[in-house]
Structure 1
Amino acid sequence: MEFDPFSAEFYDDPHAIYPRLRRAAPVYYSRRHDFYALSRHADVAAAYKDWETFSSAYGEDLGMVRRGENPPAKMIISIDPPEHRVMRSLVNRVFTPRALSGLEGMITATIDRFLGAVDADGFDVVQDFSVYFPVEVITQMLGVPEEHRQQIRLWIDESLHREPGQIDISEKGQQALANIFMLYYDLIKQRRADPRDDMISALIAAEVEREDGQRTRLKGSEIAAFATLLGGAGAETVTKLIGSAVVVFARHPDQWRAIRDDRDKVPAAIEEVLRFDSPVQYNVRRCMRDVTLHGVTIPEGSPVFLLGASANRDPDAWTDPDTFDIDRDRTEAQNLGFGYGIHSCLGAALARLESRIALNRLLDLMPEYEVQWDGCRKVSMQNVSGWSHVPVRIQR
């Protein structure tokens, strides 16, 4: 048995290997790539919460964690406490459900603009719709001018793309990340001179208490790193979630009809899509001490893959986990689709709100549909799974 998260087979169907990992190798060691992987729900959830043992401070992919160096740009995803608490508290207030309720009109208008442009008889749910609106929403919140928003999406895709067998980011991907960073850095300079009602201006005005107790403003590089992360995460997760939802519901048309007839079920349906076919397959951590689990010792300094998507289908945590059921008992276990612990997804409430509005609009547009399976394509990206193409025909 070999688990290779950089293989074409994994990109095509990550869930094909997870049951064997959970059953036979809950602490898996990859000789080829020199990492460990946790696949059972109890182990993954515990590791997400134990940031002192499984540290995020060395980056978010295998190449970075294996080098054992702190990332050059400080992003909230690669900072541990106490600094993490300071940074997260700054942005947390923007992403509370109460704060987001004031943005529902903007989000709805953005979704309607892109969905209103598709062919009423059939279209590609991803290429014609879900690739566009999530990045438009998050970059509007940040304050990015309209002419740059979709370019950021293209750069994000380039930075995350991996050919089968490729571990490290490509030179094109590095340049794309640099382009995003510099766009935000230039925007920060503009907002220092001319503040607006946007997140960049709010971060510029905010004061933070540093580890030494001093209160200072955020540096331009810190804000640019924040924005780069938020823009990327805010674009990718919802794009893949909507594509996966349309595919999953096409395979379970009775449940599509159930949410069509009872829109109150839509939020639960989104949670079930997150559990059943999560856009984020794993997160990588660095083990900070020797840890023994299930008879296997993970040495200090080792990269560890936390396979949240596997944990979300663990039969020890969920009843009939490989069955898609929007009415399942969601109190059985923690849904790890948005992570868990201090590094749980900062924009989870925003992603849920966008997905709820988008799914309702799709239900209005295509109460009955069929997927054109020959045209479906998967992405090959760092830790992200989902569809790049989902063509559908609307049935009248």
Structure 2
Amino acid sequence: MPDDALFAAVMDPANRADPYPLYARLRERPVARQRDGSYVVSTHAAIRTLIFDPRLSSEDLPPFKRPPTGNPIRDWIINPIRSRIATAHRPLIFRDPPDHDTLRAAVMREFTIPRVQGLRPRVVREVDALLDKCHGRDRLCLVEDLSYPLPVSVICELLGVPVTDEPRFQSWATQLATALEPDARGDVESRRRTVAAFDAISDYMRNLIREKRTRPADDMLSGLAAPGPGGAKRMSDFDLISTAILLLVAGHETTVNLITNAMLTLLRHPQELERLRADPERAPRVIEEVLRYEPPVHFRTRKALGAITLAGETIPKGAPVILLFAAANRDPARFETPDRFDPDRPDIEHFGFGGGLHFCVGAPLARLEAEIALVALSRRLVAPRLVRDPPPYRTGASLRGPEQLAIDIGGIDPVQAS
């Protein structure tokens, strides 16, 4: 396969189960131009350099454009205005400073460590309740039975979304996550579905924000919607809606993959699963190594605002840039025996949550949920065994994780007293 076709192969669903040989090929050229004019950056050192380079922009999405409806007033007046507003008020992961910094600061005032840690008892109860529902079965699907319902329940509680509305977000979140997939951006039908999902969730959030301002509660959305010093808004209503959508989607989709990838890895390394069962204090080290070894997000896209010369290659102004985090996480120039899963590594400087200005704001929550879920799974599942390896994967190459993870079990142990 030619070097300039390697990333196209990464995007091919046929390589979803094991893209790592392709990543090794890509690392041979730290900055590699592809046939479509994009530049893939794949080594640890090169990415570490670029994530702090102000010439690399996160504002790389195409303009928001609603499909025609056949109604002249809507198509020529209303929808163009709404599309311009949506384009100008992207979620903060698609924004550059100073807008990014302002929005992130507002989020971090609410997304505090004490607030996240305060969710621990709630997450423990939710994990145990989900496993209790599987009692009496000899097989479970980790994605359907735990990895998917847990994060959406937790993020909805954190934001203050009524529990009765949680099911509505599953299809919205799944569709909106395609915005991270480069091939989906140019697909007309995919963009139509994304626009429909965005409009539906925006309308929902607009009404919920109005309710939070009328009857505020102790949740993140109430805090974000509350006036700042002097009564001024912390952010515009359009930015508030896009931020709420981002927190819901990102806080859900990536954690699904983290929990599922982690359990898949442990089932492939049963000695590590047994060590975790015997010593739950190992959970943080296991999670950090999973974030390096099988991360939930494999790459993010950027755009060059000016010419950038790196590793003997010049990225021209305006060129699309792909930061291939998962390849950097297994860079032998940075990690000894990088293809070996080893939670006892002395130094795990990974890009599992990205890096730089756009380091994942929800990292503490994702770590908390994964830790509680993995400890419970290791201690309560009796003789767990993979049914199919590799399992079927979701279509996305950026947010990479199994679509299903069937596990045969000999039973489910009761909750252990602490």
* TM-score, reference length from structure 2: 0.85
What's the CA shift for 1:291? 1.0
List gaps (5 residues or longer) in structure 1.
none
- Cα 1:208–1:64 shift into 2, 3 Å: farther
Equivalent residue for 1:271? 288
The ranges of structure 1 where at least 4 consecutive aligned residues each deviate by more than 6 angstroms after the TM superposition are: none
Alignment of 1:175 with 2:180, yes or no, is no
2:218 aligned counterpart, secondary structure: coil
Match of 1:178, as an amino acid? D
Equivalent residue for 1:323? 340
**Deviation digits for residues 338-396 of structure 1, max 9, x if unmatched?**
01111000000000001111111111221531010168210012621010100001136
Alignment of 1:38 with 2:41, yes or no, is yes
Counterpart pick for 2:208 among 187, 192, 215: 187
1:80 aligned counterpart, secondary structure: coil
User: 1:270, 1:356 within 8 Å by CA — same for their partners in 2?
Assistant: yes
Q: Partners in 2 of 1:34 and 1:379 — Cα distance?
A: 26
Match of 1:106, as an amino acid? R
Q: How many pairs were matched up?
A: 381
Counterpart pick for 1:91 among 96, 103, 107: 107
List gaps (5 residues or longer) in structure 2.
65-83, 412-418
Larger Rg: 2
What's the CA shift for 1:177? 2.1
1:378 aligned counterpart, secondary structure: coil
- Cα 1:164–1:74 shift into 2, 3 Å: closer
Q: Partners in 2 of 1:316 and 1:49 — Cα distance?
A: 20
Kindly report which structure 2 residues correspond to 1:64-103, keeping only aligned pairs within 5 A, or say none. 71-103=87-119
What's the CA shift for 1:167? 4.2
- Cα 1:292–1:103 shift into 2, 3 Å: same
Match of 1:76, as an amino acid? L
What's the CA shift for 1:206? 4.0
Q: Partners in 2 of 1:365 and 1:103 — Cα distance?
A: 21
Match of 1:254, as an amino acid? Q
Equivalent residue for 1:123? 140
**Deviation digits for residues 181-215 of structure 1, max 9, x if unmatched?**
22111101112222222111111114289xxxx95
Equivalent residue for 1:298? 315
From the two aligned structures, give the one with the greater helix fraction.
2
Q: Partners in 2 of 1:56 and 1:329 — Cα distance?
A: 32
Alignment of 1:337 with 2:337, yes or no, is no
1:392 aligned counterpart, secondary structure: strand
User: 2:111, 2:220 within 8 Å by CA — same for their partners in 1?
Assistant: no
Kindly report which structure 2 residues correspond to 1:1-396, keeping only aligned pairs within 5 A, or say none. 1=2, 2=5, 3-4=7-8, 5-23=10-28, 25-31=29-35, 33-50=36-53, 52-59=54-61, 71-119=87-135, 120-161=137-178, 166-168=184-186, 169-207=190-228, 216-330=233-347, 334-373=349-388, 376-381=391-396, 383-395=398-410
Identity %: 33
- Cα 1:224–1:167 shift into 2, 3 Å: closer
- Cα 1:93–1:228 shift into 2, 3 Å: same
Q: Partners in 1 of 2:372 and 2:389 — Cα distance?
A: 28
What's the CA shift for 1:309? 0.6
2:59 aligned counterpart, secondary structure: coil
User: 2:226, 2:233 within 8 Å by CA — same for their partners in 1?
Assistant: no
User: 1:308, 1:337 within 8 Å by CA — same for their partners in 2?
Assistant: yes
Please identify, of 138-147 and 108-117, the stretch whose mean Cα deviation from structure 2 is larger. 108-117
User: 1:27, 1:37 within 8 Å by CA — same for their partners in 2?
Assistant: yes
2:301 aligned counterpart, secondary structure: strand
From the two aligned structures, give the one with the greater strand fraction.
1
User: 1:373, 1:391 within 8 Å by CA — same for their partners in 2?
Assistant: yes
